Amino acid sequence: MIQVENVSKRFADVQAVKDISFKVEKGKIWGFLGPNGAGKTTTMRILTGYLPPNEGRAMINGIDVSTDLKSIKKIVGYLPEVVPVYSDLTVKEFLRFVAELYSIERKRIRFAIDRVVEKTNLQDVYGRLIKNISRGYRQRLGIAQAIIHEPEVLILDEPTIGLDPAQIIEIREMIRSFKDSATVILSSHILAEITQVCDGAVIIKEGRLMATPTRDEWGKNLEIVTTGMASDTDWSDLKQAFPVISEVRAEGQVLKLEFSETLNDFNKIIKYLIEKDIRIKEIKAGLEALYMKIILAEEGRGS
């Protein structure tokens, strides 16, 4: 479990993080959302013990980051934004080095390396120099080094940045699979990623906490942007077909649905709409609408 209580971090002339509090339950995946420079990386670095907080407490499994750094480092796995690999080593040599950094027993190192290589599909590049492997493999190697010591908490800073769509999907699947063994925090610019992978989100802007919505909350609404929809369309039949829909509103070309319970699969509703000959341009799951509202609101542009 991760607990952050009133944490602040100042650098010489910048207040990077200000009075942030949130909590992530064991075995959940939580997303960090916010514009660039919002303080996502700083918060993550505090949790890994890389940076000490100026104020407040950050705790992992009940251990305070400021008091017992050594224990924290043993149970946390961390993938920084720039994958920390030595390009002049081979994948094998690098993983061996990381295993030794984490004091994995000599006779178990081989096993630990085999496990992460299999988990992150690195078999094909195992003997190659890191400078010669592709961006996607590099990112996977970054994840491999983060999980080699079987951490209880996994912190991933933009794990899918710079990857192609197929690689993104692959990494997302991988992250989902960590849920069984670890509590995961990841940051991302991609809202759809957080919606698909995470159980909740921490939205930060300019170092301050804006909202901590959970899947239950954002799973309860859906926005569908359409084209050529008549403004007087009658939606009562949609409500009848899907009792889970508690409210239907049409604002211009945007159809806004609210559900009485969390819905993770919208396919049937979309199918129904397509059969009704509604042309769909874009589907925004609840988090996106919420995020835009929060981030844009203060700039006076949003609704």
Partner 1 sequence: MKNIWTITKKELKSFLYSPIAYILTSFFLLISGFFFYNILAWANDQTMRMMQSGYGMNRININQMLFEPFFNNMTIILMFLLPMLTMRLFADEKKMRTEELLLTSPLRLSAIIIGKYLAALIIYAIILLLTATYAIFVFIYGNPELAPLLTAYLGLFLLGAVFIAIGLFASALTENQVIAAVISFSSILLIWVISWVGESGPGAWRGILTYLSFFSHFKNMVSGVIDTQDIVYYLTFIFLGLYLTRSVFEFRKWR
- The site for partner 1 (CB under 8 A) is made up of 11-12, 48-52, 70, 73-74, 76, 78, 80, 82, 84-89, 93, 97-98, 100-103, 145
* Beta carbons within 10 angstroms of residue 47's beta carbon: 24
Taking a C-beta distance cutoff of 8 angstroms, is the pair 292, 266 a contact?
no
Q: Shortest distance, CB of residue 46 to partner 1, whole angstroms? A: 11
The smaller minimum CB distance to partner 1, of residues 110 and 281, is found at: 110
> DSSP character for 50?
S
Q: Shortest distance, CB of residue 55 to partner 1, whole angstroms? A: 13
Taking a C-beta distance cutoff of 8 angstroms, is the pair 83, 141 a contact?
yes
The smaller minimum CB distance to partner 1, of residues 51 and 143, is found at: 51
Q: Shortest distance, CB of residue 201 to partner 1, whole angstroms? A: 24
d(CA 230, CA 246): 22
| Burial bucket for residue 197 (CB in 10 Å: 0-12, 13-18, 19+) | buried
Q: Shortest distance, CB of residue 233 to partner 1, whole angstroms? A: 53
Taking a C-beta distance cutoff of 8 angstroms, is the pair 47, 104 a contact?
no
Closest alpha carbon to 191 in 260, 283, 265: 283
Q: Shortest distance, CB of residue 139 to partner 1, whole angstroms? A: 14
The smaller minimum CB distance to partner 1, of residues 37 and 52, is found at: 52
The smaller minimum CB distance to partner 1, of residues 130 and 289, is found at: 130
The smaller minimum CB distance to partner 1, of residues 12 and 166, is found at: 12
The Cα angle at residue 107 between residues 102 and 112, in degrees rounded to 5 = 55
Taking a C-beta distance cutoff of 8 angstroms, is the pair 6, 19 a contact?
yes
Strand ranges (E), the chain: 2-11, 14-24, 29-33, 55-60, 63-64, 76-79, 153-157, 183-187, 200-205, 208-211, 221-227, 245-251, 254-259, 279-285
The Cα angle at residue 64 between residues 207 and 97, in degrees rounded to 5 = 90
Q: Shortest distance, CB of residue 98 to partner 1, whole angstroms? A: 7
Q: Which two tokens stand for residue 172?
A: 């997302």
Q: Shortest distance, CB of residue 268 to partner 1, whole angstroms? A: 45
The smaller minimum CB distance to partner 1, of residues 100 and 251, is found at: 100
Q: Shortest distance, CB of residue 82 to partner 1, whole angstroms? A: 4
The smaller minimum CB distance to partner 1, of residues 76 and 112, is found at: 76
The smaller minimum CB distance to partner 1, of residues 143 and 222, is found at: 143
